[in-house]
Structure 1
Amino acid sequence: MSLFANLPSILYSIPRNPITAVGLPLTLGLLSGRSTREVVQSQWYHCLYTPPGRPPARVFPVVWPLLYVAMGYASHLAVKAYDSSYSASTRNEISLGLGLYYTQLAFNCLWTPLFFNYKQVGWALIDSILLAGTSFYMTKTLDAPTSSKTTYLLLPYCAWLSFATYLNGGIWWLNRNRTLNKDM
């Protein structure tokens, strides 16, 4: 029996409708990232050493909404597969995948305040590693029960999370011995 076999019914209801399935991660991402623009323009952020390959700031507000739409729609496809399956083992596998979906969504929402609001780059890195690991496991878990449909939507997210973890890790490493005024 799966760790998430008995998810509350609301966690199945939200992704049953494609609008709410996509709307949930978009809304949570928007709320989580509200203060990012202000911090990105701060002296604290501009004083950080960054690893090679950091994209321009204008890339992030384009990429993240697309990834949120893809992950939300993947949750919709997972619930559709759950609803149409008669196999208890397949339904358990999808329940695990949905539990992982909500877990990674929580890690995703936590990262931005950790990094930008509280300026806890190390804790954000730990969160990013957990987020990426959970997302990869979710993608693998949902692959077979959804005939790989969710995988096509989630692989770009996993790739981006790998890149984001590299950036976060690089920022932590390059700034670990520096004293930065977090009030800047």
Structure 2
Amino acid sequence: MLPSILLAIPRNSITAVGLPLALGLLSGSHTRRVVQGKWYKGLRFPPARPPRWVFPVVWPALYISMGYVSHLAVQALDDAQLSSTKHSLNLALTIYYAQLALNCLWSPLFFGARKIGWALVDSVALAGTTFYLTSLLHALTNGRTTHLLLPYCAWLSFATYLNGGIWFLNHVKAK
């Protein structure tokens, strides 16, 4: 069972969306400085790397989507009649917060600590957790959350490819 504060936040759609936006902003606050620095500019990148302007456009949209998903999940929890459904929705919300924590950890690992390999481990865990969350919530919300989470799943798959490619192309250099 989640602490009541973690259920109260997504009950309001504004705080539900605001939490991942704020955490994402804090998590990535040093990214701009690092990508303009020598270390990042010296990395080798895999094919299909998007231009830098794509990231500050895509991430806020994904944070809004994931935040609204938490709102829909809490609404479903509040409306649930069966204890098994309530249990599954509590599990889904726990997984939601776990993926949010993994998401917030990635930028400090990659850009802050420059631990590309650990960032890759985080990215794989984040993608797996989010795919599971998407699957779990699909039935529990009658598919209302799926269309909001599928772009996030696709982006995480692509981001994991990029992280993996960067690690592979630079892992000797990163030691």
TM-score interval, smaller chain: over 0.9
Residue 92 (structure 1) shift: 0.9
Contact 2:12–2:71 under 8 Å retained in 1? yes
Residue 87 (structure 1) shift: 0.9
Contact 2:116–2:174 under 8 Å retained in 1? no
Cα deviations across residues 15-74 of structure 1 (Å, max 9, x unaligned)?
Answer: 000000000000000000000000000111011010000100000000000000000000
Match of 2:141 in 1: 146
Which of 3, 7, 29 is equivalent to 2:2?
A: 7
Match of 1:129 in 2: 124
Question: In structure 2, how many angstroms separate the alpha carbons of the residues matched to 1:141 and 1:10?
Answer: 22
1:168 is aligned to 2:163: yes
Cα deviations across residues 131-158 of structure 1 (Å, max 9, x unaligned)?
Answer: 0001011111111110011111011001
| RMSD (Å) for aligned C-alpha atoms | 0.9
Q: Secondary structure at the match of 2:3?
A: coil
Q: Give identity over the alignment, percent.
A: 64
List structure 1 segments (4+ residues) > 6 angstroms apart after TM superposition.
Answer: none
Which of 21, 32, 53 is equivalent to 1:26?
A: 21
1:65 is aligned to 2:60: yes
Which of 109, 114, 122 is equivalent to 2:109?
A: 114
Q: Secondary structure at the match of 2:145?
A: helix
How many corresponding residue pairs? 175
Structure 1 runs not aligned, ≥5 long:
1-5
2:149 maps to a residue whose letter is L
TM (norm. structure 2) is 0.98
Question: In structure 2, how many angstroms separate the alpha carbons of the residues matched to 1:92 and 1:159?
Answer: 28
Structure-to-structure mapping, 1:76-115, within 5 angstroms: 76-115=71-110
Q: Secondary structure at the match of 2:142?
A: coil
- Cα pair distance change 1:67/1:145, threshold 3 Å: same
Q: Secondary structure at the match of 1:71?
A: helix
